[in-house]
Amino acid sequence: MQQPSTQPMSNENRLLAALGYPFGIIAIIVLVTDMKNNRFMKYHAVQSLFFYLALIVLLVGSSILLTILGSISSGFFFLGFLYPLVFLAWFVLTLYAAVQAYNGKMYSIPVVGPFAAKYAP
């Protein structure tokens, strides 16, 4: 197994790492091609995919919570704002992480960042 390199970051590398956040398919492409040998790109691709996974878990969890609370009380209307808030938080963090990646920084998203560091050494 090849170790990820510590090559200098080109503009293309930074751009692809940044685009992996809003467009998860780019992160997948980075991980299945030779681009994964660049430590910077691999870290951001893995972090982006973990961030998408966290979004899915939050949406499934909030769906279950909405179903349970909606069936037993009027909490359904209060928690109806949960989806837009989750998406807004995801959107803001995605943009911030993309900007940090484009600036060449190894930004760590709270909660998912440590997993990315563990799986993308």
For the chain, which residues make up each domain, given as ranges? 11-113
18: which DSSP letter?
H
**Average pLDDT, stretch 61-85?**
72
Reference 56, options 116, 112, 113; nearest CA is: 112
Percent of the chain residues topping a pLDDT of 90: 41
Q: Is the pLDDT of residue 2 over 80?
A: no
**CA neighbor of 120 nearest in space, from 48, 59, 39, 62:** 39
Give the pLDDT confidence score for residue 10 in this predicted structure. 81
**Global pTM exceeds 0.85:** no
Residue 10: which region, alpha, beta or left (left: phi > 0; alpha: psi -120 to 50)? beta
The burial class, CB within 10 Å (0-12 / 13-18 / 19+), for 3 is: exposed
Could you read off the pLDDT of 5-46 as tens digits, one per residue?
445 578 888 999 999 999 989 999 999 998 888 999 999 999
